[in-house]
Amino acid sequence: MASGREIKTKIKSTQNMRKVTRALEMVSASKIRKAQDLMKASRPYARAMRKVIAHVAQANTEFNHPFLQERETVKRVGYVVITTDRGLCGGLNSNLFRLMLPAIREWQDQGVEVDVVAIGQKANQFFRRIKGVNLIGSVGHLGEKPKLDHLIGAIKVALDGYLAGKVDRVFLAHNVFINTMTQKPAVHALLPLPVMAQELAASDESGSATPYSVAGVKLEQKHDWDYIYEPDAATVLEHVMIRYIESVVYQGVLENLASEHAARMVAMKSASDNANKVIGELTLIYNKARQAAITQEISEIVGGAAAV
């Protein structure tokens, strides 16, 4: 059995750890409401953009935008991965990586190269260690109120690769906020748009949609149709496509931010509860050791007195 001094040292260190976990829990609890409000405020716009773009992808447009062209052979794919900058949020980031890795390995087995744009320090650190994955861009430290201006550089890297024909598919990976106790990792097709539209329709039919998904997207075409564009199709589509990409990526950042605070709050509360349990067990062991030492001292005193 450890000595009383060693047990007291363990109790003190566990108490200090509990102070840290409680502080982190309270900080996340104070920030989660604002993060949820930002996420919920922008979610309808992102959902409407996805639905509009899904319908545009089915139109027989007079201007064939590169984002609307589905390439027959896929030689390189790109992933825009959104994670947290800090840890101590349970399995939030690891669950997302665990979902992505099998798909990345499957692409690599087919001879397809994989590019990654990392949004968040955890994604940057993780994909630097993965062999066969090209980390072509990264951005981090977006703060509690992310701004689109900070994301434009990372978004442009992914779009330029697709427009130049270097990347044939682009996916967006992030955590979707369901509720305070549940955050769901998800990988969405971003480009080309016909693939995105097929994914939305499939999720709607299978009933696997999340609060971030779009309902009512149908791919049945009975005749050719198109929108009326003003001033012209090229100008309108170019503007709408860029706004679509920016809104979806920005919404992913907000979803991940709300998920981060929720996961950290739950993880730190669990850590604080475990610290309380450990402190109770160590206190019991310390009391037993102290009682045993007192009993031994009394026995030695009684034995010495009897010997005299």
Which amino acid makes up residue 83?
A: T
> C-alpha dihedral over 293, 299, 304, 307, to 10 degrees?
-160
For this structure, is 89 an active site residue?
Answer: yes
Return d(Cα 4, Cα 8) in angstroms, integer: 6
Neighbours of 90 (CB within 10 A): 19
Q: Is the distance from CB of 137 to CB of 154 less than 8 angstroms?
A: yes
Cβ–Cβ under 8 Å, residues 226 and 214: no
| Separation CA 257–CA 145 (nearest Å) | 9
Active-site annotation holder among 89, 173, 236, 248: 89
Half-sphere exposure of 214 (CA within 13 A, CB side): 23
Asked if 140 contacts 104 with a C-beta cutoff of 8 angstroms, the reply is no
Which residues form the catalytic set?
Answer: 89
